[in-house]
Amino acid sequence: MLRPRIIPCLLVKNKGLVKTVRFGASKYVGDPINAVKIFNEKEVDELIVLDIDATTTGAGPDFKMIQNLAAECRMPLCYGGGVKTAEQAKTIISLGVEKVALSAAVLANPELVTEIANEIGSQSMVVVLDVKKRLFGGKYEIWTHNAKVNTGKCPIEFAQLLEKMGVGEIVLNSIDNDGEMKGYDMSLVKQVREVTTVPLSVVGGAGSLKDIGNLISQFGIIGAVAGSLFVFKGAYKAVLINYPNPADKEQLILSSYRADQAKDSR
């Protein structure tokens, strides 16, 4: 049986690992390579590493760092941050990364998805959508540049376009829920899931394994991504890299998952 994926997401800033709340208030949580080593031991399903400086500072991807991370990773790695061209995506894949995530560049030019998918294969082409809900009216919009630029685009419509362009996976990131640890934005996930069939991963808001269980029980095959949950422990958010052990993870998946769920619910 194919299993839903439970994925830690690490944010890199100034070569260090940070965790944010609502895309701000970044807190230093350690060294990226060290975190990867711990996640290797914990046998995590996959790992997402996002360089949150690369686009905003215009520096672009730090290939040396990416190579070091890829060499250390014993699980599939998805890298995102500052990628603008098919050439950069190809270089990153050649460094031993399985998937490359784009965001701002694709929002500006959706055809880039097709261009890159033709080079590295659709399965390795990931798009991250940072989504924020409007204060009035509750309309969802895609933001870029660390939630500083509003594209005004609707994530539900844009996800369909991405699928048409040949995207291999969509990562839905809720800006409002980031670091809040109060659960995923299920309404956003539902609306995007209903109109697409491409693998979907969700990040922003997971505060407990129960939140992950809820996501799996509603959507079946899905990527449940979490930042804070896997780097903090306890009410005072002490830094402690953690991840459910294989038995607990299996229990969580089996108790939440039914293969036909997502199809039935539609």
Which residues are marked as active site? 130
Q: How many CB atoms lie within 10 A of CB 180?
A: 15
Residue 36 vs 112, nearer CB to another protein: 36
Least separation in angstroms between CB 194 and another protein: 9
Which residues are 100's β-sheet partners? Answer: 79, 125
Least separation in angstroms between CB 93 and another protein: 7
Kindly list the distances between the CA atom of residue 1 and the CA atoms of 45, 218, 221, 244, in Å, as whole numbers in the listed order: 15, 17, 10, 20
Residues of the shown chain interacting with another protein in the complex, contacts defined by CB under 8 A:
1-5, 40, 43, 45-46, 67, 70-71, 73-76, 93-96, 98, 120-124, 168-169, 193, 197-200, 219-223, 259-263, 266
Least separation in angstroms between CB 78 and another protein: 11
Least separation in angstroms between CB 113 and another protein: 15
Residue 17 vs 77, nearer CB to another protein: 77
Nearest to 214 by CA among 186, 195, 234, 249: 186
Least separation in angstroms between CB 234 and another protein: 28
Residue 200 vs 252, nearer CB to another protein: 200
Q: Is 221 exposed, middle or buried (0-12, 13-18, 19+ CB in 10 A)?
A: middle
Rounded to an integer, what is the distance from CA 30 to the centroid of its chain? Answer: 19
Residue 2 vs 238, nearer CB to another protein: 2
DSSP three-state, residue 108: helix
Contact between 36 and 44 (Cβ < 8 Å) = no
Question: CA torsion sign, 32 to 147 to 224 to 228?
Answer: positive
Residue 75 vs 149, nearer CB to another protein: 75
Rounded to whole angstroms, the Cα distance separating 54 from 74 reads: 24
